[in-house]
């Protein structure tokens, strides 16, 4: 069973969001997503400073099996990306909710957080 931390919000695309300051969220892919992808070999990261709208494609994760696009779950500005993934993309496999985060996004519309799903709702998607 995939790990689903209780302190995060989720998307139906198997991404997670954690409030990381007043108007900033940390974003990544879930344990379920990384296990389905298999060994991750490359991450195309978004650019710091990019303005994004909820649902925009902002990058991709490539594994030995497939390539999966990354979509931003909220609108805002990419304020930081995890450059450790440039040299060590497998960190996402090892620690998807910790060191394997992908980007920090400064929210432009905090109300969008309400459209994300709870851990309980995400668990129902897994069943």
pLDDT value, residue 2: 87
pLDDT-based confidence at 33, cuts 50/70/90?
A: very high
Residues with Cβ within 8 Å of residue 79, at least 6 apart in sequence: 24, 48, 49, 104, 105, 106
Determine the Cα–Cα distance for residues 8 and 104; give it in Å rounded to an integer. Answer: 14
CA distances for 60 relative to 20, 32, 109, 114, angstroms: 23, 16, 24, 25
Contacting residues for 117 by C-beta, under 8 A, at least 6 apart:
9, 10, 11, 12, 125
* 21 — pLDDT class (breaks 50, 70, 90): confident
Where are the chain's structural domains? 9-126
CATH code, residues 9-126: 2.40.50.100
Full-model pTM: 0.94
Alpha-carbon distance of 79 to 76, in angstroms, equals: 9
pLDDT tier, 107 (very low <50, low <70, confident <90, very high otherwise) = very high
């Amino acid at each position: 069973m995939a790990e689903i931390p209780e302190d995060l919000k989720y998307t139906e695309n198997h991404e997670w969001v954690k409030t990381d300051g007043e108007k900033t969220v940390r974003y990544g892919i879930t344990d379920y997503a990384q296990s389905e992808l298999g060994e991750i070999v490359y991450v195309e990261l978004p650019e710091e400073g990019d303005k994004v709208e909820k649902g925009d494609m902002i990058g991709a994760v490539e594994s030995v099996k497939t390539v999966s696009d990354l979509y931003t779950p909220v609108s805002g500005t990419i304020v930081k990306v995890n450059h450790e993934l440039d040299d060590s993309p497998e960190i996402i496999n090892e620690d998807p909710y910790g060191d394997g985060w992908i980007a920090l996004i400064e929210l432009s519309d905090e109300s969008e957080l309400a459209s994300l799903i709870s851990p309980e709702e995400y668990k129902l998607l897994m069943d």
